[in-house]
Structure 1
Amino acid sequence: MATLAILAIMSANMSATDPSRTRRVSSAEAKNRFGSLLEAAVAGERVEITRYGEVRAVMVSVEDFEALSRQPARELNRLTAEFDRMLADMQSDATRSALVAAFDASPEDMGRAAVTLASRAAPAPTRG
């Protein structure tokens, strides 16, 4: 029999499950109908359990739970790879030379560089 995970999370975090396959029950109803709700969750339906009218827990299949649990890890892995690429790009000889030149620049050199960069970035003012 498939394992079941009961998650105490908000419904908005459950985007991997089709919202049209959601059933909402009170905690009392969940207690009385646990077996049938368990079967519904195992079959892929999301069961939201309310207490005093607010969703307090969500029952999903283990497959849905594992899919949801892997999402943050995938995003973290993607961000780590992006950071590693950016760090590697910053380690080039050209970048090192530019950094040394920036630290060795006089205030006048920095001012000229700032004006040059600003004039390239800003559109020319229009007279109307």
Structure 2
Amino acid sequence: MSAGVGGGAAIGWAGWMGWLVQNGDGLLGSIGLDPNTAMAVGALSAVTSIRWAVGRWEKGKRKWWADWQRVAEGLDRDLRSALHRNFKDRVSLLAQTSSNGVRNTVQQREEEIAQVNDEVGQLRKEVKAVMEQS
């Protein structure tokens, strides 16, 4: 951008300088530019250079925002994953351990009840046998 603006300013200055020294052709008269045309070409060159730079800036800005969005989505995904993992490993660990303990206790009680039922069944058979003998 600075080269375009500088070049445009130089062309404009050369045309203006020719007008100042009262040279009808101006400093750029040898290539067919009178002072007014040289000033206009210089201004057009500078404005074109600025427009080109603004276009590059906008393109870079769009790319930057696209990268920003991509990084934000990745960060969101990573944070959700870390939150889920920490909740599972730290917060729900106590509830999971308690649930496993209760499940083990229930299983032990069911085994004890099955043993008692077997004993009751044996006792019923014995009582029935005794009742039949008497």
TM-score class, shorter: 0.3 to 0.5
Report the structure, 1 or 2, having the larger helix content. Answer: 2
TM-score, normalisation: structure 2: 0.36
Structure with max Cα Rg = 2
TM-score of the two chains, using structure 1 as the length reference? 0.37
